């Protein structure tokens, strides 16, 4: 018969499992995401929402984007049957929809119709438990432009080895006239400045905007939705379609 995984999918899956994704075998539900920053920020966000990921058996798994399809197939009802939720950067909507097609969760025709109607999130992603950050942003962008620019500035100041924001702005005359949020975001994305430190900054900022994991009011809405959904799967309050 036809193998459940194509050879390349199997190779990718084996690599991800060796890298830490094997914890999904013991989970009641799984939150998948692509990004190092989320590894540090999501547990704090969950705690602020009064969700103990360990108590509920929720696995938070960072994956390479190429691994989504084999992981979704492995977690699906025809294999392990472990409910999953996916949290994506806002710039990856069509890519995530493509993963859902490749994993057999929806059809290309349905995706094309949703794209034509401008309803990819509403008709494809959210009904399949995929939540995307707003306005095409990654985690840093969603938080900085969501009102936490000052917290990122404080994180940068607290870690001078990353370089100062003032020095970053002074290094390019074009940066001086940019809005403060753009300056901070560009600093975070630059490989010679904040990008190397973004995981450290993510923990610092997540702690700051949740008041030490006690207040969820400033957590980006798609993240709240994803964490609540994976909690509902873990507790049995929702059943994976």
> In this predicted model, what pLDDT tens digit does every residue of 102-147 receive, in sequence order?
999 999 999 999 999 999 999 999 999 999 998 789 999 999 999 9
| Angle at the Cα of 221 from the Cα atoms of 141 and 236, rounded to 5 degrees | 130
- Span 204-222, pLDDT tens digits: 999 999 999 999 999 999 9
pLDDT the model gives residue 43 = 95
pLDDT the model gives residue 70 = 92
pLDDT the model gives residue 91 = 83
Q: 145, 90 in Cβ contact below 8 A?
A: no
Find, among 97, 84, 100, 108, the residue nearest to 32 by Cα. Answer: 84
pTM of the model as a whole: 0.93
- Span 41-65, pLDDT tens digits: 999 999 999 999 999 999 999 988 7
Q: What percent of the chain lies above the pLDDT cut of 90?
A: 84
pLDDT the model gives residue 1 = 67
Q: What is the mean pLDDT of residues 7-34?
A: 91
- Span 139-164, pLDDT tens digits: 999 999 999 999 999 999 998 888 89
pLDDT the model gives residue 178 = 97
CA dihedral (118, 31, 24, 37) in degrees, to 10, reads 110
The helix (run of H) or strand (run of E) holding residue 88 is strand 84-88
Q: Is pLDDT above 90 for 4?
A: no
Q: pLDDT averaged over the chain? A: 94
| Phi, psi (degrees; rounded to nearest 5) at 87 | -115, 125
- Determine the Cα–Cα distance for residues 227 and 85; give it in Å rounded to an integer: 8
- Determine the Cα–Cα distance for residues 46 and 53; give it in Å rounded to an integer: 7
């Amino acid at each position: 018969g036809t193998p459940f995984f194509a050879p390349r999918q199997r190779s990718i899956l084996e690599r991800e499992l060796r890298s830490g994704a094997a914890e999904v075998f013991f989970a009641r539900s799984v939150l998948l995401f692509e990004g190092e920053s989320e590894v540090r920020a999501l547990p704090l966000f969950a705690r602020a929402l009064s969700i103990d990921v360990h108590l509920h058996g929720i696995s938070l798994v960072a994956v390479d984007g190429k691994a989504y399809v084999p992981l979704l197939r492995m977690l699906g009802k025809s294999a392990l049957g472990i409910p999953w939720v996916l949290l994506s950067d806002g710039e990856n909507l069509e890519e995530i929809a493509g993963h859902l097609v490749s994993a057999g969760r929806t059809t290309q025709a349905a995706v094309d119709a949703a794209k034509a109607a401008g309803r990819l999130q509403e008709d494809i992603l959210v009904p399949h438990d995929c939540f995307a950050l707003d306005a095409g942003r990654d985690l840093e962008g969603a938080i900085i432009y969501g009102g936490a620019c000052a917290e990122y500035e404080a994180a940068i100041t607290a870690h001078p080895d990353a370089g100062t924001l003032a020095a970053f702005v002074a290094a390019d005359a074009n940066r001086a006239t940019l809005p403060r949020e753009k300056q901070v975001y560009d600093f975070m994305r630059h490989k010679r400045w904040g990008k190397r430190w973004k995981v450290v900054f993510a923990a610092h900022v997540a702690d700051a905007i949740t008041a030490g994991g006690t207040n969820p009011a400033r957590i980006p809405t798609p993240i709240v939705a994803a964490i609540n959904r994976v909690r509902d799967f873990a507790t049995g309050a929702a059943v994976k379609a």
